[in-house]
Amino acid sequence: MKRTKIKDILLNDSFDYKVNVKGWVRSFRNNQFVALNDGSCMGNLQIVIELNTDETLLKRITNGASISVDGMVVQSQGKGQKVEVKADSIEILGDCDPEKFPLQLKNKPSLEYLREVAHLRFRTNTFSAIFRLRHSLAYAIHKFFNDRGFVYLHTPIITASDAEGAGEMFRVSTLPFENPPRDEDGGVNYKEDFFGRCTNLTVSGQLEAELGAMALSEVYTFGPTFRAENSNTPRHLAEFWMIEPEVAFNDIYDNMDLAEDLLKYVIEYSLAHNKEDLDFLNQRLIEEEKLKPMNERSEMALIEKLEFVLHNKFERITYTEAINILLESPAYKKKKFQYDVKWGIDLQSEHERYLVEKHFKKPVIVTGYPKDIKAFYMRQNDDGKTVAAMDILAPGIGEIVGGSQREERLDKLTERMHEMHIPTDEMYWYLDTRRFGAVPHAGFGLGFERLVLFITGMTNIRDVIPFPRTPKNADF
Ligand code: 4AD
Ligand code: MG
């Protein structure tokens, strides 16, 4: 018989029909009731086993074992479910020794422990909910852009340019480590490398997306990006996914509107399509909060927070206003900030979170950052000091989006590149867009994992990507 997904049985109120179901045993009570899960939804399907079933078969129905069941969907006698399956026959697909099964060894495994067994953590309610949500968000993002006529552009993963100019790149090379070919000056001779030059994993698809936008008008990328920054924080990954729209003729204000619309769209989408998973994560968070001291508890539960963000306009302030708010804050006056506050600093996570969580209590879009702390491609403002940058700061996360209006004026752009020691000859292809039919344009990057953190209410970025890559960690 063809397999039926558990979700379809549970969603369907009807009964008195035969099915085949397959899945993993979540629990087995009284040698009679199996809670079966196949990942199609949060809920387990109850399987009722005949009392006279063979002893040796019963012994093999352990937590974690995979089974196939043929049986009849019937109205449930018990509480907690409308329907259940009365088993006619059970086949063990894969045994699972409970003495050795890592998820069985701990009573309530912590998130830290589950990171050590990340290959199995999909089997827990929390992680299956997170990864169903992650999928849904990826789909919603593509839908958002598709419905607006954007073209999904696949930008390269291997590149020779450092888009962000931060120099935090992983090298891609086939040269021998031990004894690489040398040039006359004794440096590594990349002319002999695979691509005939020095190449890296991309830190952003933006520069290439800009080239696409200069013909297709509206494009976006959604791909993996890599940063070799040594930040072992709950918000940084060495390999993460980024969504980068780039739009011709947009200015910084259109850019802010697009980013706010995107965030609200995906929140709304997940509330409409992933209610069961969100309810579970909401409850999980409420339980976690109970363990914290009163003054550290968050003011809103997860779903309440998402609804709030959805129905309120994001605050929009300039960097200068942000600095002034921080300087006026009780936290600053009581010297609670670890890092100093003055005009020109790069806002630290503690500053961002103060603005969002304590001051405005909602997402904030900060614009007009000092040019010296931002990338070369951002459009210079008339004051000569700031650029048309925008960061969106989200409660519990800090920076979730970083973007800008781009410098489309060739002279200003090359001048800035010279100041920042970025070789203009190697970047001729980027500068050509400013030589041949340049137009104002703008875009941003949304960190996908930071978005998933925000929507699931998880607090560590390692828990929202299936296999996290962080300094000293590339297991599985
Ligand atoms: O602010 P960033 O560095 O901006 C760019 O890369 C631009 N090229 C984007 C653009 O304008 N097209 O990164 C964008 C976002 C950040 O706001 C953050 O959400 C996420 O990417 N991000 C990271 N997420 C996880 N781990 C890291 N190490 C991240 N670095 C940035
Ligand atoms: Mg940034």
Query: Which ligand gives the minimal distance to the CA of 235?
Result: 1
Supply the residue whose CA is at minimum distance from atom 24 of ligand 1. Answer: 447
- Residue 118, domain member (yes or no): no
Count of domains for the chain: 3
Q: Which ligand is nearest to the CA of 223?
A: 1
Same domain, 363 and 264: yes
Beta strand spans in 167-279 (E): 171-172, 199-201, 218-226, 239-248
Position 475 in a domain = no
Counting atoms of ligand 1 from 1, which one is nearest the CA of 450? Answer: 19
Ligand 1 test: best mutation among 450, 454, 455, 473, most atoms within 8 Å of CB? Answer: 450
Which residue, by CA, sits nearest to atom 23 of ligand 1? 447
Please tell me the distance from the alpha carbon of residue 20 to that of residue 10, in angstroms, as a whole number: 14
174 and 138 co-located in one domain = no
Mean pLDDT for back-to-back runs of 10 residues, the chain (476 residues): 96 93 96 96 95 92 97 90 95 95 87 94 96 98 98 97 82 95 94 96 97 98 95 94 98 98 98 97 93 84 95 97 97 95 95 94 97 97 97 95 98 96 93 97 98 97 97 93
65 and 35 fall within a common domain: yes
Give the Cα separation of 81 and 15 in Å (integer): 12
276 and 407 both lie in a single domain: yes
Does one domain contain both 428 and 402? yes
Please give the C-alpha separations between residue 267 and each of 23, 148, 177, 298, in angstroms, as whole numbers: 30, 17, 47, 19
Tokens of 415: 């001048």
Would 459 be classed as within a structural domain?
yes
Ligand 1 within 6 A of CB of 395: no
The string of DSSP letters for 155-193 reads: --SEESS-TTSS----EE--S-SSS--B-TTSSB-GGGS
Residue pair 360/394 in contact (Cβ under 8 Å)? The answer is no
Residues 72 and 131 in one domain: no
51 lies in some domain = yes
Ligand 1: does its nearest atom lie under 6 Å from the Cβ of 225?
no
Q: Is residue 450 in contact with ligand 1, taking CB distance under 6 Å?
A: yes
305 and 419 together in one domain: yes
390 and 359, same structural domain? yes
pLDDT at 294: 84
* Closest protein CA for atom 15 of ligand 1: 447
Q: Is residue 469 part of a domain?
A: no
| Nearest by Cα to 32 from 11, 7, 53 | 53
Task: Choose one of 199, 219, 251: the last residue of a domain.
Answer: 199
Judge whether 462 and 115 are in contact, CB under 8 Å. Answer: yes
Tokens of 463: 């828990």
Whose tokens are 């369907």? That residue is 12
Tell the residue nearest (CA) to atom 20 of ligand 1: 447
Give the ligand at the shortest distance from the Cα of 398: 1
How many angstroms separate the alpha carbon of residue 374 from the centre of ligand 2? 8
Note whether residue 109 is domain-resident: no
Our answer on whether the CB atom of 444 is closer than 6 Å to any ligand 1 atom is: yes
Q: The domain that contains 17 carries what CATH number?
A: 2.40.50.140
In-domain check, residue 116: no
Range of the domain at 25: 6-101
Residues 187 and 161 in one domain: no
Alpha-carbon dihedral sign for residues 173, 174, 175, 178: positive
Residue 431 belongs to domain with CATH number:
3.30.930.10
Domain boundary among 49, 69, 101: 101
Whether residue 152 is found in the same domain as residue 177 = no
Q: How far apart are CA 231 and CA 326, in angstroms?
A: 24
* Whole-number pLDDT of residue 104: 86
> Do 150 and 34 have their domain in common?
no
Same structural domain for residues 345 and 441? yes
Hey, whose CA ends up nearest to atom 9 of ligand 1?
445
Q: Confirm whether 108 is domain-assigned.
A: no
Which positions ≥6 away from 438 have C-beta within 8 Å? 214, 408, 409, 410
Ligand 1, residue 166: give the atom nearest the CA.
3
Rounded to the nearest whole angstrom, what is the distance from the C-alpha of residue 101 to the centroid of ligand 1?
A: 38
Locus of tokens 């940063």: 227
